Amino acid sequence: MASASKRITRKDLKQPDWFQVNSEKTLDFFADHKPLVIGAAAALVLILIANWGWQQFKEKQDIEAGQEFSKAVIAYQAAQYQNAISGFEKVQTYRWSHYAPLAHLYLANSYLATNDTEKALSAAQRSITATKPASLYRQIALIAVATAEERKNQCKSAIDHYADAEKISAALQGDATLGKARCAEQLGNTKIAIEGYREYLKGNPGSDYALKLAELEAKSQAVAAPASRAK
């Protein structure tokens, strides 16, 4: 059964409604605080304009950086490394563009291609901080750092960076394992080198490193034989 509607009395009709009351309060507040309200509104407008300007600036940077990046990549792929280096250095100046972190990576590898290990190491270290953890780009950056260190005969730190790259499940995991094995061999750590080459060959069974593994295993057995006879 429907309930009876509430009867509206003349007294109710004389009462001001909610909208009227709050509108009057708002107008009173505005009248009492007019400079403050106008100032707040002006500040909001400025914030909106600044945000729009910032977005426009970043979009413009991205477009210009993308054009320079494309030209630099073409030069890199054509083995024109000096032209590529100039291009990627220019891309780096667009620091708010998402192409800048990629430029660090390409720049590091361009310097490695020209055997400029000092600059390669510097660019690769910048790319580590500019890439996301556990990403392919971080893996590439770590391998670039390790490669530069390996060429500078700093294999102890190179092994650490190869190991960090190896922990990332991405496309260059095998390269990281191989680099770690090479550096372990240079440091005379035959056990780690053998383990690394074995792991690498699981994914690359036809590699020439099978001969390197056989050589190290024979060397390890030769060293172990006299020790076992002495016992």
pLDDT along the chain (231 residues), means of 10: 53 54 59 63 58 60 89 96 96 87 93 96 92 93 97 96 96 96 95 95 92 91 63 54
Joined together, the tokens standing for residue 185 give 């061999």
Please, are residues 147 and 183 in contact by the beta-carbon 8 Å criterion? no
CATH topology of domain 154-222: 1.25.40
pTM: 0.72
> Which pLDDT score is estimated for 62?
81
For residue 103, the one-letter residue type is A
> Which pLDDT score is estimated for 221?
86
- Where residue 175 falls (left for φ over 0; alpha for ψ -120 to 50; beta otherwise) is alpha
Per DSSP, which regions of the chain are E strands?
none
Q: Which CATH class is domain 53-130?
A: mainly alpha
> Which pLDDT score is estimated for 13?
47
Instruction: Count the alpha carbons within 13 Å of 204 in the hemisphere toward its beta carbon.
Output: 18
Fold matches, 53-130 and 154-222: yes
The chain-wide mean pLDDT, for the chain, equals: 83
> Which pLDDT score is estimated for 9?
57
For residue 225, the one-letter residue type is A
Domain parsing of the chain, residue ranges: 53-130, 154-222
